[in-house]
């Protein structure tokens, strides 16, 4: 799956991930109205609106990007109906040949991590038959519990040729409270990153490991250091756009080969029609605004990478 991700990045020339994190407040009125008319003002109605909104965006941008990253919390909040919309979204993205990074930030120990891994990346058995449940291609994972929490995910990834992005340095303002604490003279996240590189050595593609890391766009200095400490680790970079990151800040997350990082934008893509810059797109044409936002983001990042050369 890391091969597919890299191939698609090369083909689209876009190291860009669209974060499918739909809030109801992002969804244009005409979609909400239709879903509520059909299913009532219910969890089913809300989940249908989420799915219809996603579908519009996916249809509009799938040829431009290698991957999407649905944030499961935005679906899970609507309970079972929301989880169905999550599953529909994953399946539909696969129909469009997109790589799906499940932003699930799970993490537990032993058989519990194994259960998360089976449900999201692998297979489960019922009697004599096996099934894939949510079936993402990559999943984000929280490292706080150490190797016991990560290894069961890696075991499933090896079997399924799938991958992970493990939280190293997150993009939010308070990420430093624990992640930046100095230990042995260095911030904790450096140790986590070195551990990610170590874990990743178990499951290598050609030039990059299937086991990646998350390093936020809002901490470019950390990106520079982590690029050096984890040369074969793909870095998933959240925090572009709405959270403040710009293409020029991100060049050091990439290796000299122009690979090694993939930048996520959520609100900046899926709710682009709400930004001043794209206000000429009407809410009815929200998906066209998303397409323009992807093109602009790709140009911004590629421009910055070209300038580095």
- The structure tokens listed for 194 are 């070195």
Task: Outline where 65-187 has alpha helix (H).
Answer: 73-76, 79-95, 110-120, 147-160, 176-179
- Distance between alpha carbon 190 and the CA centroid of its chain, in Å? 21
Which is closer to its own copies, CB of 44 or CB of 288? Answer: 44
What are the beta bridge partners of residue 60? Answer: none
**Which is nearest to 137 in space by CA: 84, 169, 91?**
91
Backbone dihedral region for residue 183 (phi beyond 0: left; psi -120 to 50: alpha; all else: beta): beta
- What minimum distance in Å lies between the beta carbon of 302 and its own copies? 28
Q: Is 105 a catalytic residue?
A: yes
- What minimum distance in Å lies between the beta carbon of 309 and its own copies? 34
Which is closer to its own copies, CB of 169 or CB of 227? Answer: 169
Query: What CA–CA distances, in Å, run from 38 to 34, 93, 148?
Result: 6, 24, 46
Q: What are phi and psi of 232, to 5 degrees?
A: -105, 10
**Which is nearest to 90 in space by CA: 61, 46, 121, 112?**
121
- The structure tokens listed for 42 are 């219910």
Cα dihedral value 101, 104, 107, 108, nearest 10: -120
Which is closer to its own copies, CB of 56 or CB of 193? Answer: 193
Which is closer to its own copies, CB of 139 or CB of 251? Answer: 139
What are the beta bridge partners of residue 100? Answer: 68
Which is closer to its own copies, CB of 62 or CB of 165? Answer: 165
- What minimum distance in Å lies between the beta carbon of 112 and its own copies? 5
Which is closer to its own copies, CB of 140 or CB of 292? Answer: 140
Q: Which of 105, 123, 224, 246 is catalytic?
A: 105
- What minimum distance in Å lies between the beta carbon of 214 and its own copies? 10
- What minimum distance in Å lies between the beta carbon of 96 and its own copies? 21
Query: What CA–CA distances, in Å, run from 209 to 92, 153, 156, 157, 222?
Result: 26, 14, 15, 11, 20
Q: What is the DSSP letter of 62?
A: T
Classify burial at 8, counting beta carbons within 10 Å of its beta carbon; exposed 0-12, middle 13-18, buried 19 or more. Answer: middle
- What minimum distance in Å lies between the beta carbon of 250 and its own copies? 19
Catalytic residues: 105
């Amino acid at each position: 799956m890391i091969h597919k991700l890299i191939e698609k990045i090369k083909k689209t020339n876009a190291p860009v991930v669209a974060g499918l994190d739909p809030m109801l407040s992002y969804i244009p009125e005409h979609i909400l109205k239709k879903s509520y008319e059909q299913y009532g003002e219910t969890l089913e109605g809300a989940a249908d609106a989420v799915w219809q909104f996603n579908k519009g965006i996916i249809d509009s941008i799938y040829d431009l990007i290698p991957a999407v990253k649905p944030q499961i919390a935005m679906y899970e909040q609507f309970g079972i109906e929301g989880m169905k919309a999550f599953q529909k979204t994953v399946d539909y993205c696969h129909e469009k040949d997109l790589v799906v990074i499940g932003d699930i930030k799970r993490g537990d120990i032993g058989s519990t991590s194994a259960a998360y891994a089976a449900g999201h990346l692998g297979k489960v058995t019922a009697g004599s038959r096996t099934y894939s449940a949510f079936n993402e291609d990559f999943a984000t994972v929280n490292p706080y519990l150490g190797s016991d929490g990560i290894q069961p995910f890696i075991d499933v990834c090896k079997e399924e040729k799938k991958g992970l992005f493990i939280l190293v340095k997150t993009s939010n303002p308070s990420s430093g409270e624990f992640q930046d604490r100095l230990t042995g003279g260095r911030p904790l996240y450096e140790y986590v990153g070195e551990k990610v590189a170590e874990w990743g050595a178990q499951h290598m593609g050609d030039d990059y490991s299937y086991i990646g890391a998350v390093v936020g766009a809002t901490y470019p200095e950390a990106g520079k250091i982590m690029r050096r400490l984890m040369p074969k680790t793909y870095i998933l970079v959240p925090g572009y756009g709405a959270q403040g990151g710009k293409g020029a800040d991100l060049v050091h997350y990439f290796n000299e080969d122009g690979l090694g990082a993939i930048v996520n934008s959520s609100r900046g893509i899926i709710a682009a029609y709400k930004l001043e810059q794209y206000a000429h797109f009407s809410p009815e044409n929200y998906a066209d605004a998303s397409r323009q936002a992807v093109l602009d983001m790709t140009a911004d990042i590629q421009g910055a990478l070209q300038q580095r050369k």
